Amino acid sequence: LAQVLRSLVGSRLGEPVAAMFSESKVIVDCKGHMLGRLASCVAKELLNGQKVVLVRCEKLNQSGSLYRNFLKWGEFRRKATNVKHAHGPFHHRAPSKIMQRAIRGMIPHKTFKGRCALDRLECFDGVPPKYARKKLKIVPRAQKINCLKPHRPYCTLGDLSTKAGWKYKELIERLEAKRLANQAKYWEVKKGYVAKWLDTKAAAAKKLTKDQQEILTAAGVI
């Protein structure tokens, strides 16, 4: 009965049932991924109800040389409303906005289901402080080493955005260097705590009898 009610609620609201009961977020590091391949994978997960966070969007790769991609972006920039340009389409320069628009094109964003899917997406340039110590994941089938031959030309989205007028590449690089330095210090401190914990655990295990050690080992405690 509970499953029937959940399916009815999910179908009436127009969004997957999994989205109404899942609270976890998948944080993806975009460095070394192809823009289109990653966008298609993320769009599918969003429609299935998964919350996705994309960080370091400026490190995304795009097939083709920088000059060729800039010409393609220039053709896109010339597309505008004949009556009033403020009515759109809008030409974003930030890598996170470009990635968000690419994913939006793979989702029925004008329907309620598509709007709910886009609400589950977060895109960032660099890594925000609230995700700095979270586990970052990758998508192997969307990585450049698995999608593009080594001799094929490619460019990074950050370079393309900078050439198109994005002004924050140096700021993001500065913040990333600071984040990596703080992360290295945190890891050194954490290794010290882990080493002390392992030593304490080993010392406590020596005080146990052989039978007690076997029982705890079988239970997975030590």
pLDDT tens sequence across 177-194: 999 999 999 999 999 999
Q: What is the mean pLDDT of residues 146-170?
A: 94
**CB-count exposure of residue 178 (10 Å: 0-12, 13-18, 19+):** exposed
**CB-count exposure of residue 161 (10 Å: 0-12, 13-18, 19+):** buried
Helix (H, G, I), strand (E, B) or coil at 34: strand
Residue-level pLDDT at 124: 96
**Is residue 1 pLDDT above 70, yes or no?**
no
Look at the block and give the residue holding tokens 């968000």: 100
Q: What percent of the chain has pLDDT over 70?
A: 89
pLDDT band at 41; cut points 50, 70, 90: very high
**Is residue 4 pLDDT above 90, yes or no?**
no
pLDDT band at 127; cut points 50, 70, 90: very high
pLDDT band at 116; cut points 50, 70, 90: very high
Neighbour tally for 199: CB within 10 Å: 10
Question: What pTM, to 2 d.p., does this model score?
Answer: 0.79
- Indicate the average pLDDT of the chain: 87
**Is residue 16 pLDDT above 50, yes or no?**
no
Distance from C-alpha of 197 to C-alpha of 119, rounded to nearest angstrom: 41
pLDDT band at 162; cut points 50, 70, 90: very high
Dihedral-angle region of residue 170 (phi above 0 means left; psi in -120 to 50 means alpha; beta otherwise) = alpha
116 near 110, Cβ under 8 Å? no
Neighbour tally for 215: CB within 10 Å: 13
Distance from C-alpha of 94 to C-alpha of 123, rounded to nearest angstrom: 10
**Is residue 26 pLDDT above 70, yes or no?**
yes
